[in-house]
Amino acid sequence: MITRILYSEEKDKYNALIKHPVQTWEWGDFQISQGHKVYRLGIFDEKTMIGAYMVSFHKLPKVDYSVGTLWRGPTVDDEMIKNVRKIATDEKAIFVKFEPDSYQKIYHPDGTTSNFSVNTQFDQFVVSPKVNFYPYTYVVDLSKTEDQLLELMHPKTRYNIKVANRHDVKIVDATDDKGFEIYLKLIFDTTKRQGFYLHNENYHRQQWQILKKTGMPHILLATFQNQVLSAFMLFALKDKFFYPYGASLDDHREVMAPTLLMWEAIKLGKSLGCKTFDMWGCLGPDAKEGDNGYGFTRFKQGYGGDLIQFVGSYDLIINPQLYKIYNIIDKYRWQLLRLKAKVIK
């Protein structure tokens, strides 16, 4: 078998093998629009592509170095490490962050667990001091009937769905440019109110302009008395549905618009023929009230999915000296960004 960089003519064959939105060819185009360098690689058995993945490099400002990322790619092996290390060296990368789409453990709602063997190739890495994706997520089985899904929910979640319906909360499919503008305004209003950091407007606009042509994004809005209270952007890829982005106003919280919106998102995923609904991230099994992110973790938990633990986030270090310096600077950079977000709240 050989691994090589792909040509644009091989886009469809590449996408046929990809299982996560951030590994799609079009997500690579989006990364390029943000000024990043992207490599799509195919693994070939003679002339047949049997595997594929994408690694991107983000150039650091004012220096001739970069940082690589390989998000939600396939299982890591020696050949992948060898190829990524070579490209990373050519790109003057300080390190490459790997966050594979591989499970380590599943916590089922009934209290049982399923364990998976962890890839031993991570002996060549160090555990990342900072993650891009949460190491846990909730995944709902969409092969179940609606009645079965409702039965698996937390009683409070089922009750809040009924509350929203009694208040006549409406759910609207707004997967178009107008719907995107409503969603974008709401997500920036939410982040400003809550005082946390978000990518800039150009990032979201470029993402929408590139991905909308794929049919992957879906925008749902929850309205009450002609006011949009909550908005989700969801991704459908083959037999998987994903919930990467959501925003809600504080107005009329008593009508439980986000709760109904999530239920309608689950039903949309079923109608699209998806088998699973990945909620894109949450805290782990020991999460407790007061932890940063506890609120959205509890919200997602209410829908009765399995709690998935991924194998984690690991850095393949290319330049050990600069790696130490980078992490020190990056730590203070994020502290400054979070402080700035709170100041302009």
Per-residue pLDDT, 200: 87
Rounded CA-CA distance 28/14 in Å is 12
pTM for the whole structure: 0.93
Cβ(247)–Cβ(231) under 8 Å?
Answer: yes
Name the nearest CA neighbour of 96 among 59, 140, 66. 66
Percent of the chain with pLDDT over 90: 87
Phi, psi of 249 (to 5 degrees): -85, 160
Distance CA 21, CA 27 (A): 7
Interatomic CA distance for residues 6 and 14, integer angstroms? 8
pLDDT at 188: 87
Q: Return the pLDDT at 345.
A: 44
Widest distance between CA atoms in the chain: 61
Query: Whole-angstrom Cα distance, residue 1 to residue 113?
Result: 36
Residues 69, 72, 78, 82, Cα dihedral to 10°: -30
Which residue's structure tokens are 């690589």? Answer: 68
Kindly calculate the radius of gyration of the chain based on its CA atoms and give it in whole angstroms: 21
The pLDDT value given to residue 343 = 45
Could you give the CA distance from residue 339 to residue 197 in angstroms, rounded to a whole number?
A: 9
What angle, rounded to 10 degrees, do the helices at 294-301 and 257-271 form? Answer: 50
Mean pLDDT in the chain?
Answer: 93
**Adjacent-strand bridge partners of 136:** 282, 309
Domains of the chain: 2-102+312-343 (3.40.630.30), 139-309 (3.40.630.30)
Read off the pLDDT of residues 212-262 as tens digits, 9 standing for 90 and up. Answer: 999 999 999 999 999 999 999 999 999 999 999 999 998 999 999 999 999
Buried b or exposed e, range 79-116, using 16+ CB within 10 angstroms: ebbebbbebbeebbbbbbbbbbbbbbbebeeeeeeeee
Q: What's the DSSP call for residue 195? A: T
**Regions of the chain short of the pLDDT cut 50:** 343-345
Which pLDDT does position 254 carry in this prediction?
Answer: 97
How far apart, in whole angstroms, are the C-alpha atoms of residue 193 and residue 94? 35
CA 257, 262, 263, 268 torsion-angle sign: positive
Tokens of 262: 């999530």
Phi, psi of 250 (to 5 degrees): -80, -15
